[in-house]
Amino acid sequence: MKELNPLEKMQRVQAPLGFERRVLAELAVRKEKNVRRRRTWRFSLAGATAIVLVGFITLNVFVLKKQTPAVISGLDKRVSLPQARESMPSKMFQRQAPADTIPIIEPVDYSGEVRSTSQEPRTIYILEQVTEAANTKIIY
Partner 1 sequence: MSMDEQELVSRLQEGDETAFAQIMNTYKDRIVNYLFQFTGDYQKAVELSQETFLRVYFRADKYKPIAPFSSWIYAIASNLAKTEMKKVRKLAQVSLEDVANDLDAGTYSLDSTDSGLIKNLREALNSLHPRYRIPVVLKDMEGFSQEEIAQILKRPVGTVKARISRGRGYLKKKLEKALSENSFAKTSQEKAHERA
- Identify which of residues 8 and 120 has a Cβ nearer to partner 1 in the complex: 8
- Identify which of residues 41 and 56 has a Cβ nearer to partner 1 in the complex: 41
Dihedral sign (CA 52, 53, 59, 64): positive
Burial category of 26 from C-beta neighbours within 10 Å (exposed 0-12, middle 13-18, buried 19 and up): exposed
- Around 28, how many Cα atoms within 13 Å sit in the side-chain half-sphere? 5
Q: In whole angstroms, how close is the CB of 51 to partner 1 at the nearest point? A: 32
- Identify which of residues 13 and 130 has a Cβ nearer to partner 1 in the complex: 13
Residues that bind partner 1 (CB under 8 A): 5-16, 19-20, 22-24, 26-27, 30, 34
Burial category of 75 from C-beta neighbours within 10 Å (exposed 0-12, middle 13-18, buried 19 and up): middle
Q: In whole angstroms, how close is the CB of 62 to partner 1 at the nearest point? A: 48
- Identify which of residues 5 and 131 has a Cβ nearer to partner 1 in the complex: 5
Q: In whole angstroms, how close is the CB of 32 to partner 1 at the nearest point? A: 13
Question: What span, in angstroms and rounded, lies between the C-alpha atoms of 18 and 120?
Answer: 96
